[in-house]
Amino acid sequence: MPLTGFFRITWTIQLLVGLALFLVASLIEYQILRAFFAAPAIGLTLTAALELGKAAAVVWHRYLASGGASGYPASTRAFSIAFRLGLVGFSVLCSLLYLGVHLDRPNLEAIRTAELTTIDARLDEDLTRLAADRDAHAAADRGRRDQEYADARRDHQGQVDELEGLLRSEMDNVVGKTFKGPRYEELATRLERARTQRDQALSALSERHRQEAAQLSTSLSRDFDDRRTARIAAAETDRRNAHNASFDGDDRAHDPRVVTLMRMTESVFGLRITPPQFVFVFALFLSLLIELGILIAFDTVTLAVLPALAAQHHEAVQREALMAEVAGSAGRDAIRHRAAMDRVRKGADRLVERAQAGTQSAPDARPARAA
């Protein structure tokens, strides 16, 4: 392959690389500018103007710098360098903003959502446990009352059953065809009294149990409401903390590759670097690499074709200068020709005027001589 073809292929590849990096930088800048402006057209226009200006600045700086200080004065050179540095700095800043958003705690929202889900689940568990404790306490107290009522009824009913048995036995003692003797009447009276005492005791016990149940229900409801309110307030505080938390120290929020690299760096070199520091250095390095790639691609390609461009430009300038000189000479000749023609026309006009004046004066002189 001829040497010229090799360099053409190399320059073409380098130019394609520069265009690819140029496109990447443009897309990054557009994403950042679009976020800052309400109208996407403004961001797109600014991106196109700034990126095209950056590429053009590389070309014109290299071309004008090859012409020497006379064609590229110090003031213009300073403005060009300031403009280029400003564009590069702006591109670096946009790259830092863009890469920082994507590299700094990429799992932040997922971790925050998981924390909020855990808080809600823990709150549901606490409220369920509180309700279960309240119901268990109420059931235990209800069981105690039922057992107490059953014991009281059993005690009183035992005496009643005993008296009823004695009364039935007394009915077998028939005297004069009657069994209602003094003993029977005494047992009947005692049975009636035992039944009355049983009913009164059970009624009083039921009333006391009803009051105790009402008091316990009120106490349990108040305690449940207080504990429920406290749990909800604590959960709400945890939610606010989760929303405001940065999770910088939580490895789950960072990219696992970054976390692994940080651990390797600390274990091998003893240098502790936080993920935000790594993100800043990496984003700065990548953005500078993109800008340097664009600069080298356009600068070297311009430098390669600069002799041909300079010769063409010099020839075009000379041709334009010659054409301007010829056009100026032709213009001056035309002006002189128009001036000469004006003088001839004016001289002819004066001759005609004199001739007309002489023709008019001749008839007037002949009648005067005849008289």
The model's pLDDT over 297-349, given as tens digits with 9 standing for 90+, comes to: 888 777 776 666 666 666 776 777 788 878 878 878 888 878 888 888 887 87
- The model's pLDDT over 100-128, given as tens digits with 9 standing for 90+, comes to 887 778 788 888 888 899 999 999 999 99
Residue 63 has pLDDT above 50, yes or no: yes
Per DSSP, 177 falls in state: T
Tokens for 298, please give them: 């356009």
Residue 365 has pLDDT above 60, yes or no: no
* CA–CA distance, 156 with 201 (Å, rounded to integer): 8
Q: What pLDDT, on a 0 to 100 scale, did the predictor assign at position 291?
A: 84
Tokens for 41, please give them: 């057209």
Tokens for 323, please give them: 């054409």
- Per domain, the residue ranges of the chain are 3-106+274-305, 109-253
Phi, psi values for residue 23, rounded to 5°: -65, -40
* CA–CA distance, 340 with 346 (Å, rounded to integer): 10
Q: What pLDDT, on a 0 to 100 scale, did the predictor assign at position 356?
A: 78
